[in-house]
């Protein structure tokens, strides 16, 4: 049975949503949970019927969101360190953490190690599109701020492998995020990456910011600086639109009635753009499976992150990444 | 009386919205219009009462959106070339063009020339915020893809001058767009730019993508590669949300009734995020005033772009840019 290590205390909202999410996942999927944290708090919350599918790993040091990522390497007793190390030792097949994402990234890269041929692991995130249930994978979204063309090329190979092996897309389309569709567009690094990526049969060329959401491509490649800004910008636009609607609805009884009649539509919208629906961002390029969840993850997000970890661990993605990189190196 | 040169034929939608917008502007503001295009088409459409406030400059070559920006320098008879050259000659105080933005940018930089001390002009765009009628200025949004720290610093100085002199903000707050708020965040260029910008009393530090829309800062600085991607991403999110709502409303008679009751709210939302409300992006750093309008500008967008051109030309912004750059150079 697949073993999933879960940092039970790393999130912004404490242990409760993580434990609830784990319970829901245990009820829905077939796996064994390795819960890392204070077992005197966690154990009593797990229903008796599930106890035989949970192992408790004692740790009471929580690595804070405001600490510097590299400091985590000295914090061997922290929940995040112990959770990642379970994958390193081979005691777990995957790790899920809603803790400090930079720390998870550092630990996974340095303790688990990189896949042969990978220069830099990348954080990939699923973004909602206008096509219901269809997500696009954007990477890197924060791990690597200054990227060379070779790094972007490797992100493309890793993204393609994840799209094929985990997302189940037979022939994924890979795009390079740029400031225009023409091959001549781009900055120095992306123009060089364009040439490198042209060797991939899945490469469709440069794509623009709006293509993230129109389901025209499955994987979008960018450096971590751009990736972070586009994530925050997207969140900002969605929040602003919601705020403007809410503020103005409040001022009119007619609009309040209208909003009530439209409740179902708003619910569908919320669901379609809700982060919790996909739950976490896979870290690609390490010799193991790590899912980085949002610090503010609710139980649903944790449950879906665990589901992602299971699919990732059951897949051939890491093997494919190694194979493909070797092929292109020749 | 202020003279505004207008490329009457450069937009994607032909001459009609540009001429309509000019007529509306003539009715509302006090200026003289220099309309560059086929006068046999344009002249008959201008009401007799406004004819004395319009000069017609003959040109029938339209520089196409798909041509390479640098080719425009050889197209001396194109509407865009002639319109920009009116500013160069001193015959116009400002130019408004909905034509090829790269071409307008090249012509303005090379024919009008840069302000002393400016290494690279930048395209600045106004972005809507959740605060009604409050816009933030983002630059650069497309002119310069690979930027050094000095360029980003100059964008900050230019953005501050525009915010003070044209937008009328007494103490504008300037932010540097980065992948986190901490001073340690950023790529090589932005980290160096952070140090340079720290000399400015208006600098508030690193800001993130969502801060574009929350009115927490007035000016956001980034390179043109990032700027283009964030613009397209914002448009993509807004369009996707609209599409999801529209598609799902269609399926339910109750939701259709709800949407009808909420019509006013949607109208306010549309108005608050509508590009046409501000009309154009000022090109900052040239020895003159150029407003670059969206290729798909409607009459309202053109009217508002002309209003912006008037405010810009009436302001002290370019003088302030030169003064401030000289001060920091010492």
Is residue B295 scored above 90 in pLDDT?
no
| Rounded CA Rg of chain A | 20
Q: Tell me the C-alpha distance between A186 and A179, whole Å.
A: 6
Q: Is residue B228 within 8 angstroms of chain A, CB to CB?
A: yes
Nearest CA to A303 among A28, A83, A115, A86?
A28
Which residues in chain A (53-112) have CB-CB distances under 8 A to chain B? Answer: none
Chain B partners of A262 at a C-beta cutoff of 8 Å?
249, 255, 258-259, 262
DSSP A96-151: EE-S-HHHHHHHIIIII-BPTT-SS-EEEEEEE-SSTT-EEEEE-SSS-SS--HHH
User: In what side-by-side order are the strands of the sheet with B3-7?
Assistant: B54-58, B32-37, B3-7, B94-97, B289-292, B281-284, B122-128, B135-139, B219-221, B174-177, B203-207
CB A300 within 8 A of CB A80: no
Neighbours of A295 (CB within 10 A): 15
Phi, psi at residue B190, to the nearest 5°?
-75, -30
Chain B CA closest to residue A272: B244
- The 10s digit of each residue's pLDDT in B103-162 is 999 999 999 999 999 999 999 999 999 888 899 999 999 879 999 999 999 999 999 999
- The 10s digit of each residue's pLDDT in A286-311 is 999 999 998 889 999 999 999 999 99
Strand partners, B283: B123, B290
Q: Is residue B273 within 8 angstroms of chain A, CB to CB?
A: yes
Chain B CA closest to residue A231: B209
CB A322 within 8 A of CB A284: no
Per-residue pLDDT of chain A (330 residues; tens, 9 = 90+): 999 999 999 888 899 999 999 999 999 999 999 999 999 999 999 999 999 999 999 999 999 888 888 899 999 999 999 999 999 999 999 999 999 988 999 999 999 999 999 999 999 999 999 888 899 999 999 879 999 999 999 999 999 999 999 999 999 999 999 999 988 899 999 999 999 999 999 999 999 999 999 999 999 999 999 999 999 999 999 888 888 899 889 888 989 999 999 989 888 888 877 777 778 899 999 999 999 998 889 999 999 999 999 999 999 999 999 999 999 886
Strand A32-37 versus strand A54-58 pairing type: parallel
- The 10s digit of each residue's pLDDT in A85-100 is 999 999 999 999 999 9
Would the CB atoms of B240 and A180 count as touching at under 8 Å? no
- Tell me the C-alpha to C-alpha distance, in Å, between residue A21 and each of A48, A191, A211: 16, 43, 32
Would the CB atoms of A208 and B232 count as touching at under 8 Å? yes
In this structure, what token pair is assigned to residue B53?
A: 């406030």
Q: Quick one: angle between helices A263-273 and B224-250, nearest 10?
A: 140
Q: Is residue B217 within 8 angstroms of chain A, CB to CB?
A: no
- The 10s digit of each residue's pLDDT in B27-77 is 999 999 999 999 999 999 999 999 999 999 999 999 988 888 889 999 999
SS3 for B208? Answer: coil
SS3 for B108? Answer: helix
Helix or strand (DSSP H, E) at B266 = helix B263-273
Q: Tell me the C-alpha distance between B145 and A109, whole Å.
A: 31
| Alpha helices (H) in A43-100, listed in sequence order | 79-89
Chain length of chain A: 330
SS3 for B67? Answer: coil
Q: Can you give the pLDDT at residue B43?
A: 96
Q: Can you give the pLDDT at residue B276?
A: 72
Reported pTM? 0.92
Chain A partners of B263 at a C-beta cutoff of 8 Å?
258
In this structure, what token pair is assigned to residue A59?
A: 């740790």
* b/e code B209-233 from CB counts within 10 Å (16+ = b): bbbbbbbbbbbbbbbbbbbbbbbbb
Helix or strand (DSSP H, E) at A268 = helix A263-273
Would the CB atoms of A236 and B212 count as touching at under 8 Å? yes
Strand partners, B291: B96, B282
Percent above pLDDT 90 for chain B: 77
Mutate to test the interface with A, among B129, B132, B151, B210 (most CBs of A within 10 A): B210
CA torsion A228→A230→A232→A233, rounded to 10°?
Answer: 160
Q: Which domains does chain A have, with CATH numbers?
A: 1-118+285-315 (3.40.718.10)
Helix or strand (DSSP H, E) at A310 = helix A299-313
Nearest CA to B200 among B148, B149, B151, B157?
B157
Would the CB atoms of A237 and B234 count as touching at under 8 Å? yes
Is residue B204 scored above 90 in pLDDT?
yes
Strand partners, A284: A122
What ipTM, to 2 d.p.? 0.90
């Amino acid at each position: 049975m697949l073993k999933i290590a879960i940092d039970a205390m790393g999130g912004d909202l404490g242990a409760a949503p993580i434990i609830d999410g784990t319970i829901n996942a245990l009820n829905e999927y077939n796996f064994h949970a390795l819960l890392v944290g204070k077992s005197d708090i966690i154990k009593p919350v797990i229903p008796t019927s599930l106890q035989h599918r949970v192992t408790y790993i004692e740790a009471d040091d929580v690595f804070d969101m405001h600490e510097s990522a590299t400091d985590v390497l000295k914090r061997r007793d922290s929940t995040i360190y112990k959770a990642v190390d379970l994958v390193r030792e081979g005691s777990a097949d995957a790790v899920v953490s809603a803790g400090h994402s930079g720390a998870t990234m550092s630990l996974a890269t340095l303790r688990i190690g990189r896949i042969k041929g990978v220069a830099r692991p990348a954080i990939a995130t699923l973004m909602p599109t206008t096509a219901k249930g269809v997500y696009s994978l954007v990477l890197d979204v924060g791990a690597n701020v200054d990227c060379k063309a070779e790094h972007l090329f490797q992100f493309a190979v890793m993204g393609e492998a994840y799209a094929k092996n985990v997302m189940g897309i037979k022939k994924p389309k890979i795009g390079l995020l740029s400031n225009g569709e023409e091959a001549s567009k781009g900055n120095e690094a992306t123009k060089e990456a364009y040439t490198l990526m042209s060797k991939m049969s899945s490469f469709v060329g440069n794509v623009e910011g709006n293509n993230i959401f129109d389901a025209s491509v499955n994987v979008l490649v960018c450096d971590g600086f751009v990736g972070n800004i586009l994530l925050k910008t997207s969140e900002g636009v969605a929040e602003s639109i919601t705020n403007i609607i809410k503020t103005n609805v409040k001022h009119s009884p007619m609009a309040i009635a209208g909003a009530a009649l439209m409740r179902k539509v708003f619910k569908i919208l919320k669901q379609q753009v809700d982060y919790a629906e996909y739950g976490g961002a896979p870290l690609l390029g390490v010799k193991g499976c790590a899912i980085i969840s949002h610090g503010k993850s609710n139980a649903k997000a944790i449950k879906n992150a665990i589901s992602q970890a299971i699919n990732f661990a059951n897949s051939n993605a890491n093997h494919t990444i190694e194979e493909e990189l070797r092929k292109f190196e020749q």
